């Protein structure tokens, strides 16, 4: 039996379609011809962080991957598949890893409570804390420590993105590809550029630079 909430979703879709057609009768016909987004967005699954709306983008302009705490995990075939398709098929030029203040995954990683299956995912976030515990443990104010952890986690994901063979192979082949790290403020709607940017693997430590010449 359909609930009123479910019915409202169908009605909202019809209203949305009508509003788009009123502004551009060919809106959906243009989308039908394929997608050529310039941007891949790797963000958090949190329902308060809608990628397109945050940057004022239209359908077709952002390719999106989302998971708990916007993680770039090297064994995550879902994320790697999205990344590979975005870089090698869509030829995107920019990748933004966007964290957000108040992230539930980051908060969970700061404690030791068990949440079930998701504990296996949160462990990756705890590894980030372990790498930065000297800085984080010195922050007495819990909210400030929480916010800083959000920022550090996002930065680490940008680094991990740059270390992937997909990104490094693209750079080696001359693909113009830029990586960025942002944090979104839910209470303000404003994004903070963390000033962590990559455009080639020479910006990484030498032991992370993959050499394909011997293959």
Query: Which one is catalytic: 48, 123, 131, 212?
Result: 48
Annotation says 46 is catalytic:
yes
Annotation says 209 is catalytic:
no
In 27-141, where does DSSP find H-type helix?
Answer: 27-32, 51-54, 77-84, 104-109, 119-136
Query: Which one is catalytic: 65, 98, 100, 160?
Result: 100
Annotation says 145 is catalytic:
no
Annotation says 44 is catalytic:
yes
Annotation says 98 is catalytic:
no
**DSSP string of 58-70?**
PTTSEEEEEETT-
Residue of 74, 56, 58, 70 whose CA lies nearest to 167 = 74
Query: Which one is catalytic: 65, 103, 124, 180?
Result: 103
Query: Which one is catalytic: 44, 98, 147, 160?
Result: 44
Residue of 143, 34, 142, 55 whose CA lies nearest to 98 = 55
Report the DSSP beta bridge partners of residue 40: 63, 95
Query: Which one is catalytic: 46, 65, 124, 180?
Result: 46
How far CA 188 is from CA of 42, 85, 165, 185, in Å, comes to 20, 33, 36, 5
Residues labelled catalytic: 44, 46, 48, 100, 103
């Amino acid at each position: 039996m359909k609930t009123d909430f479910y019915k409202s979703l169908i009605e909202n879709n019809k209203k949305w379609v009508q509003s788009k057609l009123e502004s551009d009768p060919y809106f959906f016909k243009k989308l039908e011809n394929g997608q050529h987004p310039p941007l891949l967005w790797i963000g958090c699954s949190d329902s308060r962080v809608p990628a397109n709306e945050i940057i004022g983008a239209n359908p077709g302009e952002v390719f999106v991957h989302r998971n708990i705490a916007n993680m770039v995990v090297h064994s995550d075939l879902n994320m790697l598949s999205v990344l590979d398709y975005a870089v090698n098929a869509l030829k995107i030029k920019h990748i933004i890893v966007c964290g957000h203040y108040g992230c539930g995954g980051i908060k969970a990683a700061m404690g030791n409570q068990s949440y079930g299956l998701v504990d296996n995912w949160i462990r990756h976030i705890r590894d980030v804390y372990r790498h930065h515990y000297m800085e984080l443990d010195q922050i007495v104010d819990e909210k400030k420590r929480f916010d800083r952890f959000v920022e550090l986690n996002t930065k680490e994901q940008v680094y991990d993105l740059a270390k992937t063979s997909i990104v490094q192979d693209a750079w080696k082949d001359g693909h113009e590809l830029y990586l960025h790290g942002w944090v979104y403020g839910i209470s303000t709607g404003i994004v903070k550029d963390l000033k962590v940017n990559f455009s080639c693997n020479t910006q990484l430590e030498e032991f992370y630079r993959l050499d394909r010449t011997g293959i």
